Structure 1
Amino acid sequence: MNDGSPVLPWLLIRQEDNGNRYRVGRYATEDEARRQADSLCGEGHRPLYRVERLGA
C-alpha cells in the first residue's frame, strides 16, 4: 500500500542506563540517522544513541 508517505526505515533510538528505550526520530538514510546520533552524543557516552533499521 502506497499512501504517498516518505519511506523512513532508519530509527534513532535513545537507550538509558536502566534499559528504557525511546525512539528519537526516523530517517530516510542510515547516514542521516548516524549524523543526528553523533550530534546528540556530545562529550559523554550516556545516554546511548543507537541507529537501527526498521524491521531488521
Structure 2
Amino acid sequence: MTDGGTMLPWLVIRQDDNGNRYRVGRYATEDEAQKVADSLGDRGHEQLYWVERMGQTAPS
C-alpha cells in the first residue's frame, strides 16, 4: 500500500488490556516505526506496542 505514492510497509500495532489490536500508523522504514512504538510505550500506559511488516503475523 502507499500513501501519496510512497511505500509504507511497516506498521505500529497497539494491543489494549482486553487483547484488542489496533493499527496505530504505517511507516516507510522499520526504524521509523520502531521509534514511534518505543515513544508510545514509554508513556507508561498498560498498552503493548510493536512493529510488524505488512503481511507478517502478530505476536501472541
Range class of TM-score, shorter chain: 0.7 to 0.9
Larger radius of gyration: 1
Q: Which runs of 5+ in 1 are unaligned?
A: none
TM-score (norm: length of structure 2): 0.77
Does residue 40 (structure 1) correspond to residue 37 (structure 2)? The answer is: no
Whichever structure has more strand as a proportion of its residues is 2
CA positional deviation for 1:23: 0.5
TM-score (norm: length of structure 1): 0.82
The size of the alignment, in residue pairs, is 53
Percent identity over paired residues: 70
> C-alpha root-mean-square deviation of aligned residues, in Å?
1.6
CA positional deviation for 1:7: 0.3
